[in-house]
Chain A
Amino acid sequence: MRKVMTGNYASAYGAKAARAQVIAAYPITPQTSIVEKLADFVASGELDAKFIPVESEHSAMAACVSASIGGARTYTATSSHGLTLMHEVLIWASSARQPVVMTNVSRAMAPPWSVWADHMDSVAQRDTGWLQFFCESNQEVLDTIVMAYKVGESRDVMLPAMIIEDAFILSHTSEPVDVPEQDAVDSFLPGFDPDIKLEIGKPMGFGSLVKPDQYMEFRYKAMLAMTRARTRIAEVEREFEEAFGRGYGGLLDEYRCEDADAVLVIAGSAAGTARHVVDELRSRGLRVGMARLRTFRPFPHDEFRALAKRIPGIAVLDRSYTYGASGAFYTEIRGSVGPEEDVAVMKNYIAGLGGRDITPKAIERVFEDILSLKSQSQVPQEPEWIGMKGMEGRMR
């Protein structure tokens, strides 16, 4: 059934399609309409779930983790300050190996206050052990929630997943979205039935104290699970494509990269703008492409290694920042690429913070810049901040 809906409603329809059983959430702009919609679904009986109106995001995640240990499929949604308040419990979720699924409406952090798109909140959760999916469209938001449950609940994965939609650009913009038939989702995604869950008559401690001679093994197992998630994401997406006729390009979604002289790496909604610019520049004879970073965790190391071997110039656009170093995407891509002689020239750009538009013109300028660079020695250590007003945005 095709409906015109916002990214937030796509999230709510995704959680409903996946038959989330326990939803615990707290309002925050611009996430609120997700949980409002879910509260409606529960109130109307369209979704058979327990809705826990918690008193903070920290409690939202804590309730989800405990409910998941209790054997229920759980969902929550948040944004920016709510996500960072959850930080402690995000690590708890992955360390307890509970496949909670959450939408994060990616929004800037204060001060100064900003409610607009920015990836800082999500990127800052990089090391919490969550699968992180950056989405480009509302359809992708809905579909990825359904797929994320299947990946996260896989016996050999058992990790939580964060679906990231850009504040307002997706969360509050309506697009046509195909809501899959419930029967089709049900046969794609079986009910949550973990091997180990809370059971009367089976007394055990879920998260007890371990000595130093055991702790590292718990962590190593989670690391292996995240590694296995790479394969599992690809498998689940293939199954999804067979069932629903849509796919999203796996971990790294490449667009017109085959013969490109330069490729722009980008994540989230701005990828749509980048596709348009690629087409424009291609029509002018410039061989450019785009690689959309779809999963930040697990990170597509192999895909980037392959890309860097064959593409002369790679521009990496981060919609977040870290003071005193390059952007997180750039740092990770550099870390993926080996010391081979013929690796690409790479440069980091920071753009679109606090909801500033990443315009076609800005992307065009990035392509011009990366195409003009012939060697890494021409690239400064610090990233270039583009579209700055009254300041240059790069250091000399």
Chain B
Amino acid sequence: MCPTTIPEEEHAHPGNTGCPGCGANLVMRYLLKGLGERTVISIPACCWAVMPGYYPSHCLKVPMVYCAFEATGASISGIRAALDVRGEEDVTVVGFAGDGGTVDIGLQALSGAAERETDAIYVMYDNEAYMNTGIQRSGSTPWGAWTTTTPVGPTKDYKREPKKDIMAIMRAHGVPYAATVSVSHPEDFVKKARKARDISGFRFIHALSPCPPGWRLNPMKTIEVARSAVNTRVFPLYEVEGGRVNITRKVKGRPVAEYLSMQGRFSHLTEEEVAAIQRTVDQAWSVLEREAEACDDRS
């Protein structure tokens, strides 16, 4: 058996206030394993603003600066500037925000920080809805999902709009490094976090973060559902470095129905609707594959 490449050292104390089976808990854990303790985190309103515990408790071994919901991009710019003034250029500055705080209310500040080439890592932990307020739709909620603001009544008013493609948005900013990670693939996750740390400029990490209450998921199935998202190509693992696309986990593509059927939030979907999702997933994968192949050809 190969030894694991994941450092054994933990940078988070046990006993935070996350829900059972919380994916975001693992996102923070693996991220810090990759980054180490010369790290500062800025955090807007989100589950992780509550999870470190009530004052004066703090479950992480790195300092955390709280900021307003929409302000993460600005906050990391300010922290970076202050640390640079103090001559602490080697400290990694991280913005750690949920999907609503990133693709919706925080998109302006995020775009500003990326455009200014702020030397920081922005991590979006994507649980695909406003989970801290109790499962409301965000721009990152996928097509077909139930949330409390996309209820499935007689009119079947579930989410009818596709998920906002934040990776495409960040790639359009020309960032030096953008990667997707999943809590089901910690070796890949930690490797990418470490790689992001060692690149300068604005780096972006999109982490899939299953939410058992919000996804209507058995809390024991967090890893399983995350792995299924990767294996069904719903959430491909890849990185974009200097514009070059590299798929880090090439999968055969299990049927998306496997992924969808594990979660109550998709339980209302008809076979036709599942087939439509399958077509969208296939299409997105082939676009990604073509991009990756084009990069291979150039090299």
Contact = CB atoms under 8 A, between A and B. Distances in A.
A58 to B, nearest CB: 7
Contacts of A49: 85
Interface string B50-93: 10111111101111111110110111111101111110100100
Interface string B102-134: 000000110110011000000000000000000
A56 B82 CA distance: 19
Given A200-B38, A205-B52, A69 B65 contact: yes
B181 interface: no
Q: Looking at chain B's contact residues, is the secondary structure mostly helix, strand, loop, or mixed?
A: mixed
Contacts of A207: 65-67
Given A52-B77, A54-B112, A63-B77, A203 B82 contact: no
Interface in A50-86: 50, 52-56, 58-60, 62-72, 74
A322 to B, nearest CB: 26
Contact of B54 (A56, A64, A199, A208): A208
A394 B111 CA distance: 50
A57 to B, nearest CB: 10
Given A50-B84, A214-B55, A203 B74 contact: no
B145 interface: no
A66 B68 CA distance: 11
A117 B60 CA distance: 48
B26 interface: no
Contact of B63 (A62, A92, A203, A211): A203
Contacts of B50: 209
Contacts of A388: none
Question: What is the size category of the interface that chain A forms with chain B?
Answer: 35 or more
B42 interface: yes
Contacts of B175: none
B55 to A, nearest CB: 4
A72 B68 contact: no
A380 B173 CA distance: 60
B241 interface: no
B81 A202 contact: no
Contacts of A24: 74, 77-78, 81
A210 interface: yes
Contacts of B63: 198-200, 202-206
A62 B85 contact: no
Nearest to B90: A200
B105 to A, nearest CB: 11
A214 to B, nearest CB: 6
A52 B116 contact: yes
Contacts of A52: 77-78, 81, 116
B55 A208 contact: yes
B55 A205 contact: yes
B289 to A, nearest CB: 35
Contacts of B291: none
Interface of B: 37-38, 40, 42, 49-50, 52-58, 60-68, 70-71, 73-79, 81-86, 88, 91, 108-109, 111-112, 115-116
Q: Which 5 A-B pairs rank lowest in CB-CB distance, beginning with the nearest?
A: A70-B82, A55-B112, A66-B78, A207-B66, A59-B74
Given A49-B85, A58-B74, 17 more contacts: A50-B85, A56-B112, A58-B109, A59-B108, A62-B71, A62-B78, A67-B82, A70-B78, A70-B79, A198-B82, A205-B55, A206-B63, A206-B64, A207-B65, A208-B49, A208-B54, A209-B54
